[in-house]
Structure 1
């Protein structure tokens, strides 16, 4: 049986797949041959060469990525501004006592948890540009209303509804990324918009530092929420006007360019996302998939540390002997390190298909050391403890790598969106638990919290190694069963049995020209049922 190598630079085709490999487990490959239709709906992309393809991709990037980056920047700022507000009078003005502040931090994720699954259903079914912009209007209004809170009850209520509003953002951005980009492009693009997290940390720190000098009856912490709320609301207009709902409806591309953009995702991405219906059998398959639970567990363990450090960062820094204003500035180098880690690991994961899991393990090693140093702060100088705090900054880059694994390794709209919902349920659970580990009676050392952070990240290393071994074994098993090498850069079976290895933009363009897609190639099938589909490691 013919074996196709994934290491060759030219696109590889397999014609006339032997009957033995047309398994009933791979419905795309089953049945008699049908007449091939040129690239989807009958149009032609023959005039688009490699240079033109790169130009179109740049145009897509310049339209889509700034919008996603800005959205995630504001998404992070609106969550973390609570930490800055806590040292500028919020706790005193709203009369928070004991564990009240911890619950104000956690209640956000109860709202997020409640809406995480319903919103993934809506993301896949509603026009994504309009849905995301409408959600952003609500989100901005809720942030601004936080400034009106004067007691614990009001703050809890507003933070709960803020969690509901923000639950849509990450699933929507993941859906958009997998709609527009190929499997090799997804990690880099996810790293770009997720870096908005850390850039948001820098901007919010500078904003808090500037507003912290304001002395009036409104108080600095209220100005922080008013300014961010208004800015977020205005962002909604940008999304409404500029973000297309689908590739086929993208007016900034010509009809020929839209067809090329759509076909490349069918061939080298994880399938077409337009006009997909919700399929409960894909939900079942997702829940039966072992990689689902390994990724879910890793996400949970990564977010327990994140939930605590995100909301208690300024309080921990103040305990090192710094003022409220100084604590906001010290978070800037922390955020810069995070930006570098997120962007760098995203590029490496996109360039090398076998590095994703390894990178997750590597980025959590510094936080293990850092949490151990902070946990030993009573016996070491404050400077060493502060260095340990900076070591925690690489931990957040584990989540975008997990998001990339989900977007690249799950095929089938319902299966992917179910996994997305589960991922953010783990995200919420971790962020609910995290702040509770910062016990008020242990302030300012928070010994329990930093011991827990060290244990969580150590477990991540073990589980991500297990996931990588599992995916390797599955790839080898599928190779034996199907009789071909397959590809971790393509979508699986396309064009009546041609299996491509996509290595760069040039080969994606060649594939769009050479593969004559059949109607069934546009069907919404899962990774389990896509012949030639191989998992990124």
Structure 2
């Protein structure tokens, strides 16, 4: 079986009140029970081979679609910053903080739909639900091209947030229904790497469209940007609805033995049956809210997301280096490619070592240094180098925070779903007011936003260390209680 980290500082979720002895495993039927008995009798070599075989199949069917869909999810929300380079503000008569409002209003709609959407996914097929949501947001995103005044843009951005909301927590929830907690960290990292890839490809696509389609058929380049990316999203959504898997028990490309093995792995990892309909939605919310750890993780995700609000204004920040709009967009590409590579590397090491908090702390120190240099320096080379540090630190750290939350609330399913949704919902509140940190009037240094993000980055790192200490303390108390209980039994 896949190795599960024993690092008590990071794996507090392995020792929760929902852990049950192996005897509580409840198979759905007699046939599955026969498979379970067979799996328990197998040696480690057979189990390891079977597990690798299953994971290869699951990874090939599940991850590519989720990564591409999340890439488009982030691309369709962040392409406003690239459209800005194509003259969107001038064409729509925007000035002052209008762009900041257009950015922040997205998250108002996003937050309103966050919790309801993640509760619904436990009751319907994820492939249909997620695919439909992606298709709808593709249509809404395309409507950005039809706006002719600022009010139109605000309305479209609000509804875009509303229909994009189900995807991120829903995708994390779906992955946690396939992978053990040890495996989930790396898979979510691959999934979330879509945000860095979205910014990277977004810069390339925008440079190509603004440089070649501007004025084609009498349509401005920034409108073509929304049209092209929206149509791509719709196509991917329709394809995903057909091919994206749901749960192991309902998947057609798994044999009966593989379905049973997939279920057995999760049961052995959590020691509790994953009954989708055994608890109500409100019961899950109550269970989540009763766990004090949720509030700490919500705060962690909130300020971690706040520390990376610069990415919605990143082309404008890079533009302060003094280059034209096309070169500016191209200069963002290597930055986000570096952020993507960093995310993959640090998540690999976090998964191998089982240590999340120290990774987060180190990365957020890097982000703080980057923000400080961009804000305080006037040297072109130093500022561009520091622009690499900002996303390599903040965005990479967030790819570790997300699976840490998902792993910390494994069962029951409705509690896990509610915890993911609550953390994501309240976490994204930071983007509403964080969108005002980079006002155009503060260019070229963006001192208010850069200084604030440097301080916030350090706070994220310190909070991760606090969580590490709390987990260490609680695990020691649990071990002491178990030892005392064992002595009494004797």
TM-score of the aligned structures, taking structure 1 as reference length: 0.81
What pairs with 1:45-124 in structure 2 (closer than 5 Å)?
Answer: 46=38, 49=46, 50-124=48-122
Structure 1 range deviating more: 112-121 or 285-294 = 285-294
Cα distance change, pair 269–58 in 1 and its aligned pair in 2 (3 A): farther
Cα distance change, pair 484–327 in 1 and its aligned pair in 2 (3 A): farther
- CA offsets 1:412-458 (integer angstroms, 9 cap, x no match): 22222222122212332111121211223323322111111011101
Determine if the alignment matches structure 1 residue 306 to structure 2 residue 305. Answer: no
Cα distance change, pair 484–336 in 1 and its aligned pair in 2 (3 A): farther
Structure 1 range deviating more: 41-50 or 60-69 = 41-50
Structure-1 separation of matches of 2:159 and 2:281: 30
Alpha-carbon contact 1:111-1:163 (below 8 Å) kept: yes
Indicate the SS of the match to 2:247: coil
Aligned to 2:442: 442
Higher helix share: 2
Aligned to 1:332: 333
Aligned residue among 188, 191, 198 for 2:189: 191
What is the deviation of 1:43? 3.6
Aligned residue among 37, 42, 49 for 2:33: 42
What is the deviation of 1:97? 1.1
Cα distance change, pair 241–282 in 1 and its aligned pair in 2 (3 A): closer
Structure-2 separation of matches of 1:350 and 1:7: 11
Structure-2 separation of matches of 1:294 and 1:6: 22
Alpha-carbon contact 1:294-1:464 (below 8 Å) kept: no
The gaps in structure 1 that reach 5 residues or longer are 9-22, 486-537
Cα distance change, pair 435–331 in 1 and its aligned pair in 2 (3 A): same
Aligned to 1:398: 397
Alpha-carbon contact 2:107-2:428 (below 8 Å) kept: yes
Aligned to 2:154: 156
- CA offsets 1:310-358 (integer angstroms, 9 cap, x no match): 22111111111111011111111111111112111221222222x1111
- CA offsets 1:496-529 (integer angstroms, 9 cap, x no match): xxxxxxxxxxxxxxxxxxxxxxxxxxxxxxxxxx
What is the deviation of 1:245? 2.0
What is the deviation of 1:484? 9.8
Determine if the alignment matches structure 1 residue 275 to structure 2 residue 277. Answer: yes
Structure-2 separation of matches of 1:473 and 1:127: 40
Aligned to 1:292: 294
Determine if the alignment matches structure 1 residue 366 to structure 2 residue 357. Answer: no
What is the deviation of 1:172? 1.0
Structure-1 separation of matches of 2:271 and 2:153: 42
Alignment root-mean-square deviation, CA: 2.6
Structure-2 separation of matches of 1:298 and 1:127: 31
Cα distance change, pair 180–446 in 1 and its aligned pair in 2 (3 A): same
Cα distance change, pair 62–29 in 1 and its aligned pair in 2 (3 A): closer
- CA offsets 1:106-154 (integer angstroms, 9 cap, x no match): 0000000111111111122221111001111101101111100111111
Alpha-carbon contact 2:5-2:182 (below 8 Å) kept: no
Alpha-carbon contact 1:269-1:408 (below 8 Å) kept: no
Structure-2 separation of matches of 1:270 and 1:413: 13
Alpha-carbon contact 1:406-1:416 (below 8 Å) kept: no
Structure-1 separation of matches of 2:82 and 2:469: 42
How many pairs are equivalent?
Answer: 461
Structure-2 separation of matches of 1:71 and 1:40: 36
Indicate the SS of the match to 1:195: helix
What is the deviation of 1:282? 4.0
Aligned to 1:488: none
Alpha-carbon contact 1:146-1:222 (below 8 Å) kept: yes
Cα distance change, pair 27–90 in 1 and its aligned pair in 2 (3 A): closer
Alpha-carbon contact 1:320-1:382 (below 8 Å) kept: yes
Alpha-carbon contact 1:374-1:388 (below 8 Å) kept: yes
What pairs with 1:205-284 in structure 2 (closer than 5 Å)?
Answer: 205-213=203-211, 214-216=213-215, 217-269=218-270, 272=274, 274-278=276-280, 280-284=282-286
Cα distance change, pair 220–290 in 1 and its aligned pair in 2 (3 A): same
Alpha-carbon contact 1:179-1:273 (below 8 Å) kept: no
Cα distance change, pair 184–68 in 1 and its aligned pair in 2 (3 A): same
Alpha-carbon contact 1:276-1:413 (below 8 Å) kept: no
Aligned to 1:494: none
Cα distance change, pair 215–57 in 1 and its aligned pair in 2 (3 A): closer
What pairs with 1:126-205 in structure 2 (closer than 5 Å)?
Answer: 126-205=124-203
Alpha-carbon contact 1:43-1:259 (below 8 Å) kept: no
Alpha-carbon contact 1:130-1:240 (below 8 Å) kept: yes
Indicate the SS of the match to 2:308: helix
TM-score of the aligned structures, taking structure 2 as reference length: 0.88
Aligned to 1:409: 408
- CA offsets 1:218-246 (integer angstroms, 9 cap, x no match): 11111111011111111112221111221
